[in-house]
Structure 1
C-alpha cells in the first residue's frame, strides 16, 4: 500500500518531482564537477556522453521488463538506490583516474536508465484509466522538482563549491527518490494483465518516425547540456546565476505545460507539438550562435560581452518549447499509437533512441568545442533540429490514416 493517502495524480506528480530533482542537479552541475577535476573538454564531453551511450543499451530491455511482469515501481526503487550508491562512490573513483570514474558513471547510467520511462509508463497508464487526469498537469511535478533542485543546487554549491558538494547532494537525492518511489508508486497503475513475449507486437511506422523526430529534437540540446554551464562559468556567471539560467528554461516549460491544454490547435495533437518543438530548437540554437558571434564568445577563454544574462535568458525560455512541446508530442504519440502488449517496450525504445541521438550529438559537441568553441558546437545542433522537422512531417503523413483520438488519454 501507498504510505500517503493521495490520489494517483498528486502522487505521480510528487514522484516526478523527486526523480527530476536529481536531474536538476546533475544536468547543470555535474559537468562543473568534472571540470573541477581538471579534465580537458574532450574528456568531459566523453564522460557526459558515456551515460547517454550506456542508456542506449540498457533502457529498452530494462523498461521492457514491465511487459513481462516486473512492476514499474520495482524499477524505480532499484534504480534510485543504484544512483545513490554510484554517486557516493564517484569521488573515490575520480581519485583513481578518469578511466575508473568512467566505470562508476557507466554503472550510474544503468541505474538511472529506467527511471523516467518507467515513470512515464505509470503516468500514461493512470491517464488512460482516469479521463480526469492529464499528462501535462502531472508532468508539471517533474519540472517543479527540477527547478527547485537547480536553484537549491546553485545556492548550495555557491557555499561549498562544486568539488565538494555535487556528488554528495546527488547521492542524498537518490536515497530520497528511492523512498519516494516505494511510497508513492504503489497502486498508481494496474499490473500487466499478462506477460507478453518480446517482439510480440510490431510498432507502427508512424510511431517509429515520431519517436525518431522527438529523439532528434531532444538531441539538439546536447551542446548546451554538456557545455552550457562550463561556458557560462568562463564568462563570469556564478553558480547561482547559472542555476537561474537553467531555471528560466524550466519556468517556461512549466508555463507551457499549464497553458497547452487551453490551446485547441495543440490539444491532443502530437505531430503539431513535435513540429513546434523542432522549430523552436532551430530558433534557440541560431540565437545562441548569434549571441556567441556578437559577443566574441567563440572559445572558453573567459571573455564576456555586456548584457550576457539579458540576452541569454530569452533563449533559455525557448526550452519551454524545445523540451516541453517535444516531450508532450512524444508521449502523445506513444499513448495513441503503441500496441497494448508493447507499451513498456515502446517506452524503452523511445528512451533508448533519444539516448543514441543525444550521445552522438554530445560527442560531436565535445569535439566541436575543442576545435572551434561553443559557436561551432551550437551550429552543429541546427541540422539536428532540422532533421526533427523532416521526420515529424513523415510521421504525420504515415499516421494520418491511423490516428484515433476518441477515448484516448489527454495530454
Structure 2
C-alpha cells in the first residue's frame, strides 16, 4: 500500500516515527561523539546548547510561515534534507576545528527547528477535525521511532564506536526523514488554516502563555540529563548498549503513558493537570539522580519517570495549544512554544555545562530541581487563569 493512502492517524504516526528516529540517535549519542573529540565539558555544554539557542530565533518565524500559506510538508522535507547534509559534513568540520563545527551545528539546528512543531501542528489540526483521533495515540509513533533508533544506535555504536558511527547514522536518518515527509505529509490536513486577519495582530491568551512557559520550564529541566546523562552513566561503568537501553526504558515508559492516558478520566482532556503531573515527576526524578548517584542500578528505575516528565508535559502543552490557540495564529502559537522551550533549554544546558565544570554532573542534576519547581508554579497559575 502506498503510504499516502493510509488513514490520517496512521500516516501521522509514521511521520512522527521517521522524524523522531534521528532524535533517538542524536540525543543520547551526539554528546558521546563530541566527547570522543577530546572536547572539555564546558565546550560540550556550549555545543549542545548552541542548536537549542539557534532554535529560539529560527522556530517561531519558520512556523509562522504556515499561517501565511507555506505547507508543513515543505518545511519537513527541506529541514530533513538540511539535516542529512549537515550531519554528513560534521566529521570534516570537526577535523578543521571546533569553530567550524559550531557553525555547522548552528546550520543543523536551523534545519531541525521546524520539524517537530510542524508534525505537532498537522496532528493537532487532524485531531480537531476528527474527534475519533487522539493526539496521544498519534504521538506514539514518535516514541516508537525514538525507541527503535536509540536501541539500534546503541547496538551499532557498540560495534563501530561513537567516533565513526554517530554522524553517518544521523545523515542516513535525515534522508529517511526527507523521503518519509514527502510521502506521508501530503494531505495530512491543517496545512492552510483559515486566516481572517493578520496573524501578527492576534494576541495569545494569558492562560496559554502561562502554559507555554510551564511546559518550557519543565522540558528545560531535562537539559542536564540530555547533555551529560550518557557521559555520567559511562563514567559509572555502563556500556554503550546499556546506555541505549537506559534511554529506551524512558521511551517505553513514555509510550505506556501515551497509550494509557486516554483511559484515565482525571487526566483526559486536562492539560493543566498533565503539566502539573510532569513537573512533580521531574522534581522526583532529578532529586533521585542526585540522591542515588552512586548506584548504577538506580538509573533504569529513574528513567521510568521520563514517561511523566516528558510525556505528561508534552500532552499538557499540546492540549493547551489545541484548546486555547486562536485560529489564524496556530502556527505562531506552535512556534512560540517551541521557541520558548528552546530558550529555556539553552539556558539550562549552558548552566549544566558550567556546573559540570565546577562540581561534576551531580551539581548539574541538582540545578534542574528548581527549574521543575518553576514549571509547577506556572502550571498552577495557568490553570487558575483558564
TM-score calculated relative to the size of structure 2: 0.98
Q: What displacement does 1:366 show?
A: 0.3
Could you say if the C-alpha distance between residues 251 and 3 of structure 1 is closer, same or farther in structure 2, counting changes exceeding 3 Å? closer
Q: Do 1:150 and 1:247's aligned partners in 2 also have CA atoms closer than 8 Å?
A: yes
The answer to whether the aligner puts 1:321 opposite 2:308 as a matched pair is yes
Q: Do 1:281 and 1:322's aligned partners in 2 also have CA atoms closer than 8 Å?
A: yes
Q: How does 1:226-305 map to 2 (within 5 A)?
A: 226-292=227-293, 295=294, 305=295
Q: Do 1:67 and 1:196's aligned partners in 2 also have CA atoms closer than 8 Å?
A: no
Q: Find the counterpart in structure 2 of residue 214 from structure 1.
A: 215
Q: Find the counterpart in structure 1 of residue 341 from structure 2.
A: 354
Q: What displacement does 1:193 show?
A: 3.0
Cα distance in structure 2, aligned partners of 1:208 and 1:362: 23
SS at match of 2:292: helix
Q: Find the counterpart in structure 2 of residue 100 from structure 1.
A: 100
SS at match of 2:187: coil
The answer to whether the aligner puts 1:368 opposite 2:355 as a matched pair is yes
Q: What displacement does 1:235 show?
A: 1.6
Count of matched residue positions in the alignment of Structure 1 and Structure 2: 384
Q: Find the counterpart in structure 2 of residue 383 from structure 1.
A: 370
Q: How does 1:179-198 map to 2 (within 5 A)?
A: 179-190=179-190, 191-194=192-195, 197-198=198-199
The answer to whether the aligner puts 1:18 opposite 2:18 as a matched pair is yes
SS at match of 2:202: coil
Q: Find the counterpart in structure 1 of residue 35 from structure 2.
A: 35
Q: Do 2:77 and 2:178's aligned partners in 1 also have CA atoms closer than 8 Å?
A: yes
SS at match of 1:141: helix
Cα distance in structure 2, aligned partners of 1:32 and 1:50: 16
Cα distance in structure 2, aligned partners of 1:228 and 1:188: 36
Q: How does 1:48-63 map to 2 (within 5 A)?
A: 48-63=48-63
Q: Find the counterpart in structure 2 of residue 86 from structure 1.
A: 86
Q: Do 1:47 and 1:102's aligned partners in 2 also have CA atoms closer than 8 Å?
A: yes
Gap runs ≥5 in structure 1: 296-304, 400-411
Deviations 1:7-66 (A, max 9, x none): 100000001000000000000000000000000000000000000000000000001100
Q: What displacement does 1:76 show?
A: 0.3
SS at match of 2:200: coil
Q: Do 2:252 and 2:307's aligned partners in 1 also have CA atoms closer than 8 Å?
A: yes
Q: What displacement does 1:386 show?
A: 0.3
TM-score calculated relative to the size of structure 1: 0.92
Cα distance in structure 2, aligned partners of 1:362 and 1:27: 13
Q: What displacement does 1:3 show?
A: 4.6
Deviations 1:89-137 (A, max 9, x none): 1001001110100000000000000000000000001111111100000
Q: What displacement does 1:237 show?
A: 0.9
With 140-149 and 230-239 compared, the bigger mean Cα shift is at 230-239
Cα distance in structure 1, aligned partners of 2:287 and 2:228: 16
Q: What displacement does 1:4 show?
A: 3.3
The answer to whether the aligner puts 1:166 opposite 2:166 as a matched pair is yes
- Taking only aligned residues, the RMSD between alpha carbons, in angstroms, comes to 1.0
Cα distance in structure 2, aligned partners of 1:120 and 1:356: 19
Cα distance in structure 2, aligned partners of 1:377 and 1:61: 32
With 227-236 and 137-146 compared, the bigger mean Cα shift is at 227-236
Q: Find the counterpart in structure 1 of residue 384 from structure 2.
A: 397
Cα distance in structure 1, aligned partners of 2:50 and 2:117: 19
Deviations 1:318-344 (A, max 9, x none): 000000000000000000000011000
Cα distance in structure 2, aligned partners of 1:196 and 1:312: 51
Deviations 1:195-215 (A, max 9, x none): 853412100000000000000
Deviations 1:332-389 (A, max 9, x none): 0000000011000000000000000000000000000010111110110010000001
Q: Do 1:59 and 1:348's aligned partners in 2 also have CA atoms closer than 8 Å?
A: yes
Q: Find the counterpart in structure 2 of residue 333 from structure 1.
A: 320
Kindly indicate which of the two structures has a greater share of residues assigned to helix. 2
SS at match of 1:69: coil
Q: Do 2:82 and 2:108's aligned partners in 1 also have CA atoms closer than 8 Å?
A: yes
Cα distance in structure 2, aligned partners of 1:132 and 1:74: 27
